[in-house]
């Protein structure tokens, strides 16, 4: 077979025949997926206890307790004047200071929350 050509092996086959194999790349592994972690919420602080405010006093309670600084109207011989309570006086009377700066002692029945109430009481 003089005229016949010898077939050559491909390079990979030639290397395999010699014992040298082409190194295969390692199979790619997907990066391990991080499991979706729940976002940690900061611990909730318990709400502060509701502060119970005392209910506002009615005008009559302020007069009865003689709360200093309570604005009042009172009747005098000539009309109606504005003042504020200073303290409790003798025999249930109340010491007041008028807007003019004069201190007077009046009975608690002569004190009113508004000027209109004092005017209305004048005609009773």
Whether 27 is covered by a domain: the verdict is no
Parent domain of 68: 59-114
Whether 10 is covered by a domain: the verdict is no
Report pLDDT for 97. 92
Below-70 pLDDT ranges, the chain: 1-24, 32, 35-39, 124
* 3-class SS of residue 80: strand
Are the CB atoms for 83 and 97 separated by under 8 Å?
Answer: yes
Whether 47 is covered by a domain: the verdict is no
Structural tokens at position 30: 């997907």
Report pLDDT for 12. 58
Whether 17 is covered by a domain: the verdict is no
**E strands, the chain, where?**
71-76, 79-88, 93-98, 103-107, 111-112
Region of 98 (left: φ > 0; alpha: ψ -120 to 50; beta: rest) is: beta
Whether 109 is covered by a domain: the verdict is yes
Report pLDDT for 43. 75
Report pLDDT for 110. 85
Q: CATH no. for residue 65? A: 2.30.30.140
Whether 52 is covered by a domain: the verdict is no
Whether 70 is covered by a domain: the verdict is yes
Are the CB atoms for 94 and 108 separated by under 8 Å?
Answer: yes
Report pLDDT for 19. 57
Q: Which H helix or E strand runs over 85?
A: strand 79-88
Task: Tell me the Cα Rg of the chain.
Answer: 51
Report pLDDT for 17. 59
Whether 120 is covered by a domain: the verdict is no
Number of domains in the chain: 1
Are the CB atoms for 84 and 69 separated by under 8 Å?
Answer: yes
């Amino acid at each position: 077979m003089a005229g016949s050509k010898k077939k050559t092996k491909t390079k990979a086959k030639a290397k395999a025949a010699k014992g040298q194999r082409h190194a295969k790349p390692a199979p790619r592994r997907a990066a391990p997926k991080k499991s979706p972690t729940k976002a940690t919420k900061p611990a909730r602080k318990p709400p502060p206890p509701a502060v119970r405010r005392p209910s506002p006093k009615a005008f009559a309670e302020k007069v009865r307790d003689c709360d200093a600084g309570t604005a009042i109207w009172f009747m005098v011989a000539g009309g109606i004047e504005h003042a504020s309570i200073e303290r409790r006086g003798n025999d249930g009377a109340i010491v007041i200071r008028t807007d003019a700066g004069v201190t007077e002692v009046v009975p608690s029945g002569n004190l009113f929350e508004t000027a209109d109430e004092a005017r209305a009481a004048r005609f009773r």
